């Protein structure tokens, strides 16, 4: 079976690459990506050959695939010409969703005609994602294992990392997302910078000795300078994603706080003390974490929240053979 895969953003790209590596010998895989994109870099890490995106229609005609798997996300929409061609030529398409946010918006909602960007099927990787896909009437939701997370957790538990006394803040470009989506960086009533000020104000309550800010790839460390100058009594380091391995950083931290980044969910799977912090009532919590670890304010942090929390990833989804039989078009 000939399967074409195209993706850009990191979340779905990691899931797709892990799936391909798991079943690499069972199909003829044809991967398309931009060389310096998150998908391109993921392919290099997984030792998966890929072809730079050129003329999608010609590339698909040359292969004559049986199936298209495509990633979704907020950045480049390189998958759309591939999806359009496959739909016009009765080639089955499967959209891969990661995280639990903005499912319809990834396909262009609320713009007119956004439904044309949907896949024939929609792959999700846990019960929360499946429920969301059903509630939004996304086409034919399918349950598939998240081989990326399975591999990640299996490898992480083998590492020997001494736990420090560090509070780790997983920053996200909340202001940029709000500006791009709603035209107002303070649409939700907070940004990553105001949230950091809250954390610094309550730093002693976390019972940690220092703070590490892990930057999102789109952020600059200099944006935090003015805030940190006002809290010079607190030892703070800023790390970008290329300087320190994420898993090592999660394992090392005593307490981990963020908004709703996937890294916070991974930390919970590793048994770490995690806090999903949204200092607003205007934005709902997305991560499948217990209610007591979803905070709108940081006053009176309980000692329980500073202890490790064990979140288990249950077996989920169909096997690969069942997946292929489900999505295969009948001639």
Mean per-residue pLDDT, 282-296: 92
Cβ pair 244, 154 in contact under 8 A: no
Triad 268, 278, 151: Cα angle to 5°: 25
DSSP, res 1: -
pLDDT (0 to 100) of residue 330: 46
Tell the burial category of 63 from Cβ atoms under 10 Å away from its Cβ (0-12, 13-18, 19+): middle
DSSP, res 70: E
Q: Give the contacts of 34 (CB within 8 A, at least 6 positions apart).
A: 8, 40, 52, 53, 76, 78
* Model confidence at 59: pLDDT above 60: yes
Mean per-residue pLDDT, 188-200: 96
Tens digits of residue pLDDT in 23-36: 999 999 999 999 98
User: How far is Cα 213 from Cα 241, in angstroms, rounded to an integer?
Assistant: 11
* Encoded tokens for 223: 């944006």
Tens digits of residue pLDDT in 87-98: 999 999 999 999
3-state secondary structure of 284: coil
pLDDT band of residue 329 (cuts 50, 70, 90) is low
Q: What is the mean pLDDT of the chain?
A: 93
Triad 261, 266, 267: Cα angle to 5°: 95
Between 180 and 108, residue with greater pLDDT: 108
pLDDT (0 to 100) of residue 164: 94
User: How far is Cα 61 from Cα 295, in angstroms, rounded to an integer?
Assistant: 51
Triad 122, 152, 294: Cα angle to 5°: 75
- CA-only gyration radius of the chain, Å: 21
pLDDT band of residue 331 (cuts 50, 70, 90) is very low
pLDDT (0 to 100) of residue 157: 86
């Amino acid at each position: 079976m000939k399967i074409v895969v195209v993706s850009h953003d990191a979340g779905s790209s990691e899931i797709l690459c892990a799936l391909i590596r798991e079943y690499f010998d069972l199909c003829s895989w044809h991967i398309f990506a931009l060389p310096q994109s998150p998908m391109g870099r993921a392919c290099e890490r997984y030792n998966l050959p890929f072809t730079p995106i050129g003329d999608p229609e010609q590339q698909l005609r040359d292969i004559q695939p049986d199936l298209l798997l495509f990633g979704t996300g907020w950045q480049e929409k390189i998958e759309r010409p591939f999806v359009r061609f496959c739909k016009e030529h009765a080639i089955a398409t499967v959209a891969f969703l990661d995280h639990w946010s903005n499912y319809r918006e990834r396909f262009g909602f609320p713009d007119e005609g956004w439904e044309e960007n949907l896949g024939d099927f929609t792959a999700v990787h846990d019960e929360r994602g499946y429920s969301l896909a059903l509630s939004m009437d996304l086409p034919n939701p399918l349950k598939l294992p998240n081989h990326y997370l399975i591999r990640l957790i299996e490898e992480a538990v083998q590492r020997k990392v001494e736990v420090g006394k560090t509070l780790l803040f997983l920053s996200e470009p909340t202001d940029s997302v709000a500006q791009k989506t709603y035209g107002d960086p303070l649409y939700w009533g907070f940004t990553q910078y105001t949230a950091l000020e809250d954390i610094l104000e309550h730093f002693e309550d976390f019972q940690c000795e220092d703070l590490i800010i892990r930057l999102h790839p789109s952020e600059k460390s200099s944006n935090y300078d003015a805030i940190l100058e006002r809290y010079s009594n607190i030892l703070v380091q800023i790390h970008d994603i290329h300087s320190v391995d994420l898993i090592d950083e999660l394992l090392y931290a005593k307490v981990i706080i963020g908004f709703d980044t996937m890294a916070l969910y991974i930390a919970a799977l590793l048994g770490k003390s995690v806090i999903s912090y949204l200092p607003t009532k205007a934005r709902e919590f997305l991560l499948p974490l217990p209610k007591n670890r979803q905070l709108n304010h940081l006053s009176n942090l309980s000692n329980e929240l500073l202890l490790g929390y064990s979140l288990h990833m249950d077996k989920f989804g169909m096997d690969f053979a069942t997946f292929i039989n489900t999505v295969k078009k009948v001639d």
